[in-house]
Amino acid sequence: MAVRKPPITTREYWAPGHAACAGCGCATALKLATKAFSEAMEEKFGDPNAFAVAQATGCMEVVSAVFPYTAWKAPWVHVAFENAAAAASGVEAAWKKLGRKGKILAIGGDGGTADIGLQALSGMLERWHNVVYLMYDNEAYMNTGIQRSSSTPYGAWTTTSPPGKYSIGEDKPKKWVALIAAAHQIPYVATASIGNPFDFIRKMKKAAKVDGPAFVQVQCTCPTGWKSPLEKGVEIARLAIETGVWPLFEIENGDIWNIKIQAPGGGAKVKREGGRVVAIEFKKPIEEYLKLQGRFKHLFKQPEAIDVMREQIKAMWKVLGVDVILPKPEE
Amino acid sequence: MPIRKVMKANEAAAWAAKLAKPKVIAAFPITPSTLVPEKISEFVADGELDAEFIKVESEHSAISACVGASAAGVRTFTATASQGLALMHEILFIAAGMRLPIVIAVGNRALSAPINIWNDWQDTISERDTGWLQFYAENNQEALDLILIAFKVAEDERVLLPAMVGFDAFILTHTVEPVEIPDQELVDEFLGEYVPKHAYLDPAKPITQGALGFPAHYMEARYGVWEANEAAKKVIDEAFAEFEKKFGRKYQKIEEYRTEDADIIFVTMGSLAGTLKEYVDHLREKGLKVGAAKITVYRPFPVEEVRELAKKAKVLALLEKNVTFSVGGALFQDFSRALVNVEDKPKIVDFILGLGGRDVTFKDLDEALEISKKALAGEEFEEVNWIGLRKEIL
């Protein structure tokens, strides 16, 4: 009987026994990311274990390293909330002096990356440390109980952006940290999603193999914070891609004029010019993504807010150099 | 053969770092300690120091990178002052809690507001509860020596705590003095190579560092820092003794000067000790029975030595460049703790002076002496006294 090779290593670095919530999309992201990293290390250095992790305070940190237990099978260090990038810089420098082969993986959530840790991230990227920074983006401060971050999307309910008589929920568009990272002209920047795990694995491997800094921003679902069904995480993440809410792209060497946009799927029509995506006509309305999440429930009573969201998404794609058509749901 | 060079305390600190051979240095420039990373940059640029020097974007990242590097198992050094140390505050606790033997050189400087770049000790004193060991240098030679000793003690398996060495802004950081640079071979013998036993990020032996501590374990971790501070007392004495044997310079946690038969003993730290010794000579010439004591090791606080000192005097007059509100100075609090249950203890008078770089003159010390004499005579005295205060501008 023929045995198929698994699409990714069966080695575990983020092991079972962690304390993440049921249905946690970020746990999936970390599990895949470390597996991909290990494969890249094996291919690059001949040693699948040639990496260490420096992680910011956050939900994925507290659920994976509860003394005296650990979910980490890789060497791992946590220092504080805002300094994963700085701590990783130190680890990388030490490894260089120790003559140790391998690469450092820094991990932070959206709060620890887009907000309080942005300065340390910028410093680390600018100094060209040989570190991959993985931002797992569940779009709010989930560690402290669902407060808005600068990565929270427009319209979302959080405990500090509650909808009310004078509030639509979060009233600012999402901050796109991947583009800020790209402005450092580093070798590799990508967005990814647990809704497209093979693409995510490919990007993590690519990031791990470049010489110099790389940044990957992966959207991962949070059933607790998004008020979404436990079993629908991957489906919701996939819908974010297929409705245009979450663009998948790669930027190499800071060349934002050569941004590589991935086709979203879901029946979307993609127009290319010289191999470059210039327009996308999405077929699925963003409502399909929104309706599965309690955090957007209030918007359905104010459809004009969803239109505002559509305009913001178009504006965001415009920055990426793509004209998009976002359909309204059929009546 | 050791060589003698005329240098500022900042250069002495950089030389100490060079001699200690740290593998990673991460630093951000801040007045008055900027020359430390500048000089280290030169050593690295010239190949005289084989280290990674991370030019970080802030002091917060400097100490964070040091924690990362130390957690990866290498000797690590940084330098800062004042606001920079305050910006590191959060991570100082973490470095101590993770038991990482990082060494910081601090050009002791006042904290804002108002912004002030000159000397007092409020920056390091404010970090006294982080778990870090604290040494204070009287002169540039001590700045160099104490950094080497700090590495030795910090890395001792019985201790494993980070350490900071303070030297007064401008009074030392920018003043040139002759400094003896010890032989590299002797320093190598004294320090040895740092071989981490508890902190390393090695894929061959993966460990988790910096975990979450529930109530069931947090207190024990803090007690570990307490115990290590206590253990450091003996280790420091041993390091001082070994240092004296190797390099010929003697250090003590509390250094006494003409305390024999003294009625009043002035106590201070840092460069003020130099002024104080002069002042004591001056008073002794007049026949006054006064002495001086210098606190070289502030954390762990030398409780036993303070009790010994207290036996020798009727009045202990503390001269402090820091403020602890509702208390006076931090030394006043520490001395009170050391002597609270001791019978026949001397009176303790506290003097706050020299804040924000204000000169401390013999005239100021005369003022402190007059108040101390009142205490000696059994008259009423103020426990806390601000010396040299310009009352006319209040």
pLDDT tens, position by position, A232-284: 999 999 999 999 999 999 999 999 889 999 999 999 999 999 989 999 999 99
Pairwise CA distance, residues A196 & A200, whole Å = 6
Q: Which residues of A touch B200 (CB under 8 A)?
A: 75
- A218-234: per-residue pLDDT in tens? 999 999 999 999 999 99
Residue in the structure block whose two tokens are 């305050």: B86
Give the model's pLDDT for residue B167.
Answer: 98
Q: Determine the residue among B59, B201, B207, B220 to mutate to test chain A binding: the one whose Cβ has the most chain A Cβ atoms within 10 Å.
A: B201
Residue that has been written with the tokens 């040639």 in this structure: A50
In chain B, what residues touch A62 (CB-CB under 8 Å)? 212
Q: Across the interface, which of A49, A94, A120 has its CB nearest the CB of B203?
A: A49
pLDDT at B18: 98
Q: Give the CA-trace dihedral at A42, A45, A47, A50, to 10 degrees.
A: -100
**What is the least distance, in Å, from the CA of A91 to any CA of chain B?**
5
What's the confidence (pLDDT) of residue A7?
A: 86
Percent above pLDDT 70 for chain B: 100
Long-range contacts of A38-44 (CB under 8 A, 24+ apart): A38/A9, A38/A11, A38/A13, A39/A8, A39/A9, A39/A201, A39/A205, A40/A103, A40/A204, A40/A205, A40/A206, A40/A208, A40/A209, A41/A102, A41/A103, A41/A208, A42/A9, A43/A205, A43/A209, A44/A103, A44/A208, A44/A209
Tell me: pLDDT of A1 over 80: no
pLDDT, average across residues B35-46: 98
Residue A190 has pLDDT above 90, yes or no: yes
Q: What is the pLDDT of residue A314?
A: 98
> ipTM, 2 decimals?
0.96
Long-range pairs for B378-386 at CB < 8 Å and ≥24 separation?
A: B381/B347, B381/B349, B382/B349, B383/B328, B383/B332, B383/B348, B383/B349, B383/B350, B384/B327, B384/B328, B384/B329, B384/B332, B384/B350, B384/B352, B385/B349, B385/B350, B385/B351, B385/B352, B386/B351, B386/B352, B386/B353
Backbone φ, ψ for residue A267 (5° rounding) = 85, 5
pLDDT tops 90 at residue A6: no
Q: Is A137 on the interface with B (CB under 8 A)?
A: no
- Give the pair of three-digit tokens for residue A250: 């790669």
Give the per-residue pLDDT at A159.
98
Q: How far apart are the first and last CA of chain A?
A: 52
Conformation bin of residue A76: beta by default, left when phi > 0, alpha when psi is -120 to 50: beta
Partners of A83 on chain B (C-beta within 8 Å) are 60-61, 64, 91
Mean pLDDT of A300-306: 95
**Confidence band of A157 (pLDDT split at 50, 70, 90):** very high
Q: What is the mean pLDDT of residues A61-66?
A: 96
Find the closest chain A residue to B26 by CA distance: A90
- In chain A, which among 37-96 make CB contacts under 8 A with chain B? 47, 49-52, 54, 61-62, 65-68, 70, 72-80, 82-83, 85-96
- Chain A from 101 to 130: CB within 8 A of any B CB: 102, 119-120, 122-123, 126-127
**What is the C-alpha to C-alpha distance for residues A133 and A126, in angstroms, rounded to an integer?**
13
Collect all residues with Cβ–Cβ distance below 8 Å to B41 and sequence separation of at least 6: B53
Radius of gyration of chain A, Cα coordinates, nearest whole angstrom:
19
Residue A194 half-sphere exposure, CB side, CA atoms within 13 Å? 25
> For the CA atoms of B5, B77, B72, A204, what is the dihedral angle to 10 degrees?
-110
Which pLDDT belongs to residue B83? 98
Test the A interface: residue of B50, B63, B64 with most A CBs within 10 Å: B64
Note whether B54 contacts A93, CB cutoff 8 Å.
yes
CA dihedral (B248, B310, B234, B299) positive or negative: negative
Percent of chain A with pLDDT over 90: 95
Are A88 and A76 in contact by the 8 Å Cβ rule? The answer is no
Tokens representing residue A129 in the block = 């440390």
Rounded to an integer, the average pLDDT of B97-123 is: 98
Instruction: Determine, for residues B90 and A62 on separate chains, whether the beta-carbon distance falls below 8 Å.
Output: no
Cα angle A26, A183, A130; round to 5 = 65
* pLDDT band at residue A330 using 50, 70 and 90 as cut-offs: confident
* Partner-chain contact B23 A94, CB within 8 Å: yes
Mean pLDDT of the residues in chain B: 98
Q: Which residues in chain B touch residue A70, judged by CB atoms under 8 angstroms apart?
A: 208, 211
Per-residue pLDDT band for B241 (boundaries 50, 70, 90) equals very high
Which of A80, A98, A126 faces B91 most closely, judged by CB atoms?
A80
Query: Taking CA atoms, what residue in B is nearest to A120?
Result: B61
Rounded Cα distance between A166 and B184, Å, is 70
CB distance A52–B201 less than 8 Å?
A: yes
CB contact under 8 A, A119 and B61: yes
Candidates A95, A119, A120; nearest CB to B72: A95
Give the whole-number percent of chain B exceeding pLDDT 90.
99
pLDDT surpasses 90 at A74: yes
Q: Do B70 and A90 touch (CB under 8 A)?
A: yes
pLDDT number for residue A201? 98
Q: How far is B74 from chain A (nearest CA, A)?
A: 6
Return d(Cα B166, Cα B119) in angstroms, integer. Answer: 11
Question: How far from the centroid of its chain's Cα atoms is residue B335's Cα?
Answer: 17
Model confidence pLDDT, tens digit, residues B158-210: 999 999 999 999 999 999 999 999 999 999 999 999 999 999 999 999 999 99
- The token duo for B149 is 């000793």
User: Cβ-count burial of B311 within 10 angstroms (0-12 exposed, 13-18 middle, 19+ buried)?
Assistant: exposed
Q: B64, A79: Cβ pair inside 8 Å?
A: yes
Amino acid at B102: I
What's the average model confidence in pLDDT over B279-306?
98
User: Which of B26, B206, B211 minimises the CB distance to A75?
Assistant: B206
The predicted pLDDT at position A275 comes to 87
* Chain B contacts in chain A segment 221-240 (CB below 8 A): none
Q: Residue A17's pLDDT is what?
A: 85
The minimal CB distance from B208 to the residues A51, A70, A91 is found for: A70
pLDDT for position A187: 98
Question: What is the model's pTM?
Answer: 0.97
C-beta separation of B315 from B375 below 8 A = yes
> Closest Cα of chain A to B331: distance in Å?
31
d(CA A317, CA A270): 13
Q: Which residue of A has its CA nearest to B205?
A: A75
Phi and psi of B297, rounded to 5°? -115, 115
Calculated CA dihedral for residues A86, A88, A90, A94, nearest 10 degrees: -170
> How close is the nearest chain A Cα to the Cα of B61, in Å?
5
Tokens 């992680």 label which residue? A55
Tens digits of per-residue pLDDT, A127-145? 999 999 999 999 999 999 9
Q: How far is A87 from chain B (nearest CA, A)?
A: 4
pLDDT at A2: 81
What does the alpha-carbon distance between residue A286 and residue A289 come to, in Å, rounded to a whole number? Answer: 5
Alpha carbons B234 and B254: distance in angstroms, whole number: 14
Per-residue confidence (pLDDT) for residue A331, from 0 to 100: 64
Look at residue A315 and tell me whether its pLDDT is greater than 70: yes
